[in-house]
């Protein structure tokens, strides 16, 4: 199934926050607070909208998937690739990642970078590797994130040349 992908609009904010938090519910197990991925007040979402762009996939009037892209010089950062739980495993995540690459290329991006939290290595690194991303090393969690994590870990850095 090929779904229509578009830029997120201001009207998508509430649905976008809900989608991301539902898709990242698995990460509640690795955070001490067990809380949502994005804060309820929407401050994090405000900051992301100020720095980058969300691509969204809407199906039957509901957001089914999203991905965040932030320009950083000649490359883009990809984050928060989210697919609603009942659509996970359907290829929609792959479709969103490919749309991200096209979006970045159309704007002169030479590479896409992303980070995976190490407790989710077995699930996420193979997914991104199948799409052509390669491991570039690791990065320590910033102290405020490290303090939130139930399990010790780090970021796994991955990138793909466009």
Domains and CATH numbers, the chain: 5-161 (3.40.630.30)
pLDDT of residue 109: 97
Query: Taking Cα atoms as reference points, which of 149, 154, 109 lies closest to residue 136?
Result: 154
CA distance 141 to 149: 9
Each residue's pLDDT tens digit in the chain (162 positions)?
456 899 999 899 989 988 988 887 766 555 555 555 566 556 788 889 999 999 999 988 889 999 999 999 999 999 999 999 989 889 999 999 999 999 999 999 999 999 998 888 998 999 999 999 999 999 998 888 778 777 788 999 999 999
């Amino acid at each position: 199934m090929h779904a229509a992908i578009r830029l997120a609009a201001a009207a998508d904010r509430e649905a976008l926050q809900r989608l991301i938090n539902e898709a990242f519910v698995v990460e509640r197990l690795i955070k001490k607070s067990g809380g949502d991925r994005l804060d309820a007040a929407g401050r994090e979402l405000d900051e992301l909208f100020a720095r980058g762009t969300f691509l969204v996939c809407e199906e039957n009037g509901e957001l089914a998937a999203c991905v965040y892209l932030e320009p950083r010089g000649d490359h883009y950062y990809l984050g928060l690739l989210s697919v609603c739980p009942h659509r996970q495993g359907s290829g929609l995540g792959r479709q969103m990642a490919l749309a991200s690459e096209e979006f970045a290329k159309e704007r002169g991006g030479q590479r896409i970078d992303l980070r995976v939290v190490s407790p989710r290595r077995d699930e996420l690194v193979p997914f991104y590797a199948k799409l052509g991303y390669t491991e570039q090393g690791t990065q320590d969690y910033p102290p405020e994130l490290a303090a939130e994590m139930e399990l010790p870990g780090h970021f796994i850095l991955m990138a793909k040349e466009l």
